[in-house]
Structure 1
Amino acid sequence: MKIPILRIPFTDKDIEYIKNGIEDILRSGQLTLGKNVIDFEKRFADFAGTKYALGVNSGTSALEIFLRSIDVSKSSVIVPTNTFMATATSVIHAGGKVIFTDVMRENLCMDPDDLQEKIRKDTKAVILVHLGGIITPELKAIQRICEDNDLYLLEDAAHAHGSSIDGKMAGSLGDGGAFSFYPTKVMTCGEGGILTTNDESIYKNAETLRDHGKPDHRFNKHTEFGYNWRLSEIHAVVALQQMNTVDWILGERRRIAKAYDKKLKNISGLSPVKIPSNVKSSYYKYIAYLDDGIDRDPIKTKLNEDYGISLTGEVYADPCHSQPVFKNYPGTMVNKSGDKFPEAEYVSEKHICLPLYPGLSEQEIDYVVEALGEVL
């Protein structure tokens, strides 16, 4: 049996929907920022529970557009070190400087105590990352810190389509939310992203920045130094198909996670991350910690070579503060020289992510669990 890193299921019905949509686009002559983008934005705003949603060409773009909309130039922005580098580089590309915090191993998200310690006079925003689809149970503490210090709160929700806490959806928990539609993500349109917000000013600024700084894309008048961050109509059609099936997608991910929760109870050597009772995860990843003394790389190699099981990429194996790029560009990361990140380093070294995607069968789940029992 072979268990690949990823499968992206499109049924014949899904493909027919996309083919018909693309044909309509080609016949219409409008290939970008048309009715499909508008429809996608409206439906995703309803899904996330926000007033506004802006379709863009990537989740990275959504992050940077928000940061440019609030003007973080010459300011610092606080980011957890355990995230994909795009979270940090979006700050730098928007003209800001990044400060990294440690995380909490229980949920892989930002440590609010360390956040409080890292705030400087020039700090303007905090980016909270819902890693693996988990929203931190410390959300209220982080929101309170941001309110008390007059800081914007941006959610990096690249992993968290459909995640919620206390009934509130990811993307509606701060001043803005950035989602990715990259092929590995919970929802995909190949390449794409969306920015959610309830703030009209942020939305208007973001809309202008998306299309080279033009408030109205129909006219060649520029009021900001924007960029080409547009979402094409073809990508939007695929995104609309994903909106049609998102409940099934989330249901499948939660079914598989529930099966792992049950079946892994008798497997020694690893401990799955527990999702807080008031959180519904999208389960972008199913994350488990290896016991002390167990090295991840040999386990991954043995599962692949002996059992045909490919574990998915970690979240993440290398903390951002350790990336060599910051030595090449001094002044972009402005942590103090003595800052330590012990929990992030533990997370990065000790976790694995099990195969999880819609369509994974009970037989395949059993096979993964049995193989883990044999190699651990």
Structure 2
Amino acid sequence: MAHQSLFWVMNGLGDSASLIYLDKRLSYRTMTYEYDLFQSYSDEQIIDSVLKVLERESWWVKGPEIENLEQQVADVTDREHVIAVNSGTSALYATLESLGIRNEEIILPSFTYQATPNAVVAAGGQPVFADIEQDSFTLSVEDVESKITEETAGIIPVHFAGRVAAEIRELRDLAEEHGLFLLEDAAHSLGATCSGEPAGSFGDAATFSFAFNKIITTGQGGVVVTDNEHIAEKVRQFRVHGRNSQREYVDWGLNLAMSSIHAAIGVAQMSKLNEFIERRRELSGLYDNMLTEVNEIEIPTVPPNQKSVHFLYNICLPDRKKRQELRSHLDEHGIPTEVYYEGSHLTNYYSEEWGYERGDLPVTEKIADKILTLPFHVNLDNKDIENISEEIVSFF
């Protein structure tokens, strides 16, 4: 059968490219690294859910799996409307299009994946980067407030590494005070909570990603969640070329719909969300216990009022030089690492086209010089975490 085939592809991990293979369980092992930075979880239930869609030979798009996935996300986020699309980037873009941000300023962190500012630009807005907090790596309310002008339309806080933005309530209050929308980029944090309220429930809308490396993955995919009927209707129309529920083309749009095949993977994965989160908490705790003895390593902490889903496991080193030395050491021992994030404002496009330069966001730049992401996924066992940690300890 098709899912039992073996084939080779190229995969980039860290700073090098590696040959990898996919087997019948859809897991992969690299030829250059002993461990993988990320892995997508699969089992027979997930494989069978995909086969059922394929074997019915119809409705590979717009099948019942779409609504099933949307309902599962609604249950987790406590939102009335959930709209599935083909990527987290599409979720951001479609939401911003629904809000109408042409030529308006949107305040967001630079400490994020390029998808966040790129979606603003794609929707015709002007990205205004604000600095982050030293401890949480999420938007600083004070710096956001200093960036608000008459041209500001909204704020996009980014929930980082499986937590909720530390000052999300203050950001919500600030947005309400100035008549701005609040759009949560919650790509990392499905299932996380802040004082009992779920990620995705704080803003006018929120977006989640189901990319291959996320806690819940559909391979590629994403959702928009909101209680706002106008936003929900506009996003639903936008994902199918501007077509409304009466099949009339009432606006412009694009094909951003998620397929039933991808949704089937998501439905099966969502049934394991709590299991995934619990395992990630266990693995994170193992890393914490073994790395706290190293004085030169700073381990970011979760605020006491939050429950993280631990999407990434990060450590902070004294400086960029020490980080690179550690990365090289781990590379030699088959352990991949990555840097999330370097700061969007210092990439070629945003520095050249929008005039940003080093020094504009000092806290962001300080964190970007120190942070390092270690291998982290539910397919790692306790011994894997111990081996990786021991190698880090031995370096110091």
TM-score range, shorter chain: over 0.9
The DSSP-based 3-state class of the residue aligned with 1:98 is strand
Give distance in 1, aligned partners of 2:213 and 2:238: 27
Partner of 1:95: 124
Change (3 A) 1:20 1:182: same
Aligned to 1:86: 115
Does residue 22 (structure 1) correspond to residue 54 (structure 2)? The answer is yes
Is the contact between residue 138 and residue 166 of structure 2 (CA under 8 Å) also seen in structure 1?
no
**In 2, distance between residues paired with 1:58 and 1:347?**
27
Structure 1 position 9, deviation (Å): 2.5
Taking a change above 3 Å as real, the CA distance of residues 204 and 325 of structure 1, as seen in their structure-2 partners, is: same
Q: 1:257 aligns with which of 277, 284, 304?
A: 284
Q: Which residue of 1 aligns with 2:10?
A: none
Q: Look up the equivalent residue of 1:156 and give its one-letter code.
A: D
Q: Supply the AA of the counterpart residue of 2:273.
A: V
Secondary structure of the residue aligned to 2:107 is strand
Mapped pair 1:319 → 2:319: no
1:170-199 residue CA offsets vs partner (Å, 9 max, x unmatched): 111111111111101111111111000011
Amino acid in structure 2 at the alignment position of 1:148? E
Report the more deviating stretch, 223-232 or 12-21: 12-21
How far apart in 1 are the matches of 2:53 and 2:310?
29
Q: Which amino acid aligns with 1:174?
A: G
Cα distance in 2 for residues equivalent to 1:296 and 1:286: 15
For 1:135, what is the secondary structure of its paired residue?
A: coil
Deviations 1:297-345 (A, max 9, x none): 221121121x21112x2220x211111113554xxx487x897211000
State percent identity of aligned pairs.
28
**1:131, 1:315 within 8 Å by CA — same for their partners in 2?**
no
Seen in structure 2, the aligned counterparts of structure 1 residues 297 and 49 have a Cα distance that, compared at 3 Å, is same
CA distance 1:72–1:293, shift in 2 (3 Å): closer
Whole-Å separation in 2 of the counterparts to 1:245 and 1:88? 31
The match for 1:244 is: 271
Taking the aligned partners of 1:179 and 1:150, their CA distance within structure 2 comes to: 24
Q: Distance in 2 between matches of 1:150 and 1:304?
A: 49
Correspondence for 1:11: 43
Distance change >3 Å, CA 338–CA 182, structure 1 → 2: closer
CA distance in 1, matches of 2:261, 2:196: 32
- Runs of 4 or more, structure 1, over 4 Å off, are none
Paired residue secondary structure (1:205) = helix
1:76 lines up with 2:105 in the alignment: yes
CA distance, structure 2, for counterparts of residue 185 and residue 338 of structure 1? 30
Q: 2:346·2:358 contact (CA, 8 Å) conserved in 1?
A: no
Match of 1:309 in 2: 335
Instruction: Give the SS at the match of 2:292.
Output: helix
**Quick check: 1:291 aligned with 2:318?**
yes
From the superposition, tell whether residues 359 and 174 of structure 1 become closer, same or farther in structure 2 (CA, over 3 Å). same
Work out the CA distance in 1 between the residues paired with 2:67 and 2:358. 48
Q: 1:343 to 1:222 in 2, by over 3 A?
A: same
Partner of 1:222: 249
**Contact preservation (8 Å) 2:88, 2:210:** yes
Alpha-carbon shift at residue 46 of structure 1 (Å):
1.0
Query: Which residue in 1 is equivalent to 2:3?
Result: none
Alignment-derived partner of residue 209 in structure 1: 238
Q: What SS does structure 2 have at the residue aligned with 1:74?
A: coil
Would the alpha carbon gap of residues 208 and 278 (structure 1) be closer, same or farther in structure 2, given more than 3 Å must change?
A: same
Q: Is the 8 A contact 1:132 1:315 kept in 2?
A: no
How far 1:223 sits from its partner (Å)?
1.4
**Paired AA for residue 237 in structure 1:** A
Specify the SS of the correspondent of 2:386. Answer: helix
Q: Is the 8 A contact 2:92 2:207 kept in 1?
A: yes
Letter in 2 for 1:183: F
Q: Does 1:344 align with 2:364?
A: yes
Map 1:11-160; keep pairs closer than 5 Å.
Answer: 11-24=43-56, 26=57, 29-160=58-189
Answer whether contact 1:22 1:237 (CA < 8 A) is retained.
no
Structure 2 gaps, min length 5: 1-32
Cα offsets for 1:251-285 (capped at 9, x unmatched): 11111111112222212320100110111111111
The aligned residue for residue 182 of structure 1 is 211
Number of matched residues? 364
Alignment root-mean-square deviation, CA: 1.8
Bigger drift between 288-297 and 183-192 goes to: 288-297
